[in-house]
Amino acid sequence: MGLLPQIAQDLLPGVWASSSDDAIAQAGVMIAAYALGVVVGAPTIAVFAARVPRRIILLALTVAFTLGTVASALAPTFGLVVLFRFVAALPHGAYFGIAALVAASLMGPGKRGQGVALVLSGLTVANVVGVPLITALGQSAGWRIAYLVVAAIFAASVVAIRLTVPTQPGDPDATPRRELGAFARPAVWFALLTGSVGFAGFFAVYSYVAPLTTEVTGLPESAVPWALVTLGVGMTLGNLLGGWAADRGVLRALFLCFGVFAVVLLGLALTAAQPLGLFGFLFGVGGAAAALSPAIQTRLMDVAGDSQTLAAAVNHSALNIGNALGAFLGGAVIAAGWGYLAPTWLGLVLCAPGILLALAGAWVTSRR
């Protein structure tokens, strides 16, 4: 996301020459393609992987990450890069879903939310360290080099998983029919929709942090990695707090996080022209959004019955529907000429249906 301007300039030179705004908005399709790959891959892989020993499937999925990222770095055209981003994303949801099950099992009863948050903290710490460093590397050495470095990190992760993750059996009683049974539960759908709509607001902002920082706040390009660091620190702290809160009341945690999210989005929209407002409220946006994730993941595990593998994986489908929707709608409002602050207002608007969907899910559960 932080490299969208560089990618747009390299892969869409004709569009860039006529309008850099249009080129950046079009390059946002790459984000949507990755997100849609997660949406497709998470339930498909999870349904058929539930019986496979968990360390084996984690290793296979990480190898797939590595190969897909290398292909993305080497693809010569914009269309092929978009295709390989989709392919590279297919293992994403199943990987994090199965890893969350492993962590929840190791943490023991009463600490599932914290186990889920521990796994998701990998994503949030990556936003503090990996994303800014890779963004800075891509700005200086080129986005393709940045992607190859990411692929090398994936390859190192294959080794780390093999050496450190304990052996855990799959579910010998799992069948595709049983796993898919989760979709017969209305509460599962409401939880998925809550995550999709809520995170669309976050990704509308996150996808366009680079132009928000340079065009609205007026800071140099070198400030973009620091904006991402700030957002990532907020995500790291918010994720841990969200896991703690989910273990003490999932629905209460959901509503509290949505309320805070709306407040910080409003603050960002009103003060982003000032560096203090940008950095302060980006921290809050990252924290509130990340706190939602373990709450939604735990909520899905609560309402999915025996379909735990699928429930853990499709949470990432829901979040990446939000990713795709947020990137697309954020690009649309920019392309419409409403400016780089428009995605922040869009995120605030999307909080309302997110809260309503969470309320509907709570109502369905109470009726049952």
Q: pLDDT tens digits, residue range 291-312?
A: 888 888 778 777 777 676 777 7
The pLDDT mean for the chain works out to 86
pLDDT at 26: 85
Q: How far apart are CA 204 and CA 212, in angstroms?
A: 11
**0.75 exceeded by pTM:** no
pLDDT at 36: 83
What's the Rg (C-alpha) of the chain? 20
Q: Is the dihedral of CA 145, 148, 150, 153 positive or negative?
A: negative
Average confidence (pLDDT) over 8-22? 88
| Confidence at 52, pLDDT banded by 50, 70, 90 | confident
pLDDT at 278: 95
Q: How far apart are CA 76 and CA 53, in angstroms?
A: 37
pLDDT at 368: 67
pLDDT at 246: 82
Q: Enter the tokens of residue 237.
A: 């702290």
Average confidence (pLDDT) over 256-281? 93
CB 126 within 8 A of CB 236: no
Domains of the chain, residue spans: 4-367
Q: How far apart are CA 33 and CA 87, in angstroms?
A: 9
Q: How far apart are CA 257 and CA 22, in angstroms?
A: 34
- Which is more confidently placed, 207 or 183? 207
DSSP states along 26-61: HHTHHHHHHHHHHHHHHHHHHHHHTTS-HHHHHHHH
- Other C-beta atoms closer than 10 Å to the C-beta of 29 total 18
CB 277 within 8 A of CB 155: no
- Which is more confidently placed, 120 or 56? 56
- The region that residue 339 occupies, defined by phi over 0 for left and psi between -120 and 50 for alpha, beta otherwise, is left
Q: Is the pLDDT of residue 67 over 90?
A: yes
Q: Is the pLDDT of residue 265 over 90?
A: yes
Q: How far apart are CA 200 and CA 206, in angstroms?
A: 10
pLDDT at 51: 78
Least confident of 16-25, 51-60, 164-173, 242-251: 164-173
Q: How far apart are CA 21 and CA 211, in angstroms?
A: 9
For 319-355, write each residue's pLDDT tens digit: 878 877 888 898 889 888 888 999 999 999 988 888 8
| Confidence at 62, pLDDT banded by 50, 70, 90 | very high
For the ranges 72-86, 169-183, 248-262, 290-304, the one whose mean pLDDT is highest: 72-86
Average confidence (pLDDT) over 3-18? 89
Q: Is the pLDDT of residue 364 over 90?
A: no
| Confidence at 198, pLDDT banded by 50, 70, 90 | confident
pLDDT at 287: 92
Average confidence (pLDDT) over 176-191? 78
Q: How far apart are CA 60 and CA 43, in angstroms?
A: 16
Average confidence (pLDDT) over 217-240? 88
pLDDT at 174: 67
pLDDT at 29: 87
pLDDT at 327: 82
Average confidence (pLDDT) over 187-214? 87
pLDDT at 123: 79
Q: Is the pLDDT of residue 281 over 90?
A: yes
Write out the CATH class of domain 4-367: mainly alpha
For 73-111, write each residue's pLDDT tens digit: 999 999 999 999 999 999 988 898 888 888 878 877 777
Q: Is the pLDDT of residue 49 over 90?
A: no
pLDDT at 295: 83
For 221-230, write each residue's pLDDT tens digit: 888 888 988 9
